[in-house]
Amino acid sequence: MALKATVFKVQLQIADMDRHYYQDHSLTLAQHPSENDERMMVRLLAFAINASETLAFTKGLSAEDDEPELWDKTLSGEINLWVEFGQSDEKWLRKAAGRAKQVQLFCYGGRSVPVWWKNIQQALERYQNLAVLEINEESVKAMAKLVSRNMNLQCNISEGHIWLSDAEQSVLIEPVLLKAAQ
């Protein structure tokens, strides 16, 4: 018997001073059985950083290979933003860069990220619409401590610093831009 996804309900209040975006979002996150809390929270962080009325989670790890886990699409089906997670290979990122106006990759994983980046950095330089951000291991672990089946979170973004908090604790996240989109 196949394991089912765990469903999380999230009330997310976003105050993004950098983009002048202030909005509340009611989200339902499905956590695939193979996904840990850290990865799920990195997905939620990516949503908060890019929040808009048209940004949406897809079927995620359960989906076919033709869509990301988070994207922003127009009504006509054009992909404005394609968001990936982890340490993707160049082939997958090439496909994303060819289909979307912008691609973001959120890397995490501690000491393995610099090794992965050293091996792939030169190959990714040609993708003008690709941005690569690293979320440090301490921040990812701290975000995982915010996980509960019903989350009520506040996200404040200012000058590239992100504060994610609930009623009891707060986490400072400072993404490192490994590659900027041009």
Q: Do the beta carbons of residue 147 and residue 166 sit within 8 Å?
A: no
Closest listed residue to residue 117, CA positions, set 127, 107, 126 = 107
Alpha-carbon gap, residue 27 to 182, rounded angstroms: 31
| Record: fold of 6-179 | Restriction endonuclease-like alpha-beta roll fold (3.10.640)
Alpha-carbon gap, residue 69 to 76, rounded angstroms: 19
Q: Do the beta carbons of residue 162 and residue 44 sit within 8 Å?
A: no
pLDDT at 62: 52
Residue 6 buriedness (CB in 10 A; 0-12 / 13-18 / 19+):
middle
pLDDT at 54: 95
Element (H, E) at 114: helix 112-124
Element (H, E) at 44: helix 37-50
Radius of gyration of the chain (CA): 16
pLDDT at 58: 87
pLDDT at 167: 94
First-to-final CA distance of the chain:
47
pLDDT at 61: 55
pLDDT at 5: 86
Closest listed residue to residue 132, CA positions, set 106, 163, 97 = 106
* Secondary structure letter of residue 3 according to DSSP: P
Alpha-carbon gap, residue 143 to 41, rounded angstroms: 6
The amino acid occupying position 90 is E
Spell out the per-residue pLDDT of the chain, length 182, in tens.
Answer: 567 889 999 999 999 999 999 999 999 999 989 899 999 999 999 999 999 999 999 876 555 567 899 999 999 999 999 999 999 999 999 999 999 999 999 999 899 999 999 999 999 999 999 999 999 999 999 999 999 999 999 999 999 999 999 999 999 999 999 999 98
Domain ranges of the chain: 6-179
Helix ranges (H only) for 3-106 are 37-50, 90-99
Tokens of 82: 């394609």
Q: Do the beta carbons of residue 174 and residue 136 sit within 8 Å?
A: yes
Residue corresponding to tokens 């196949």:
2
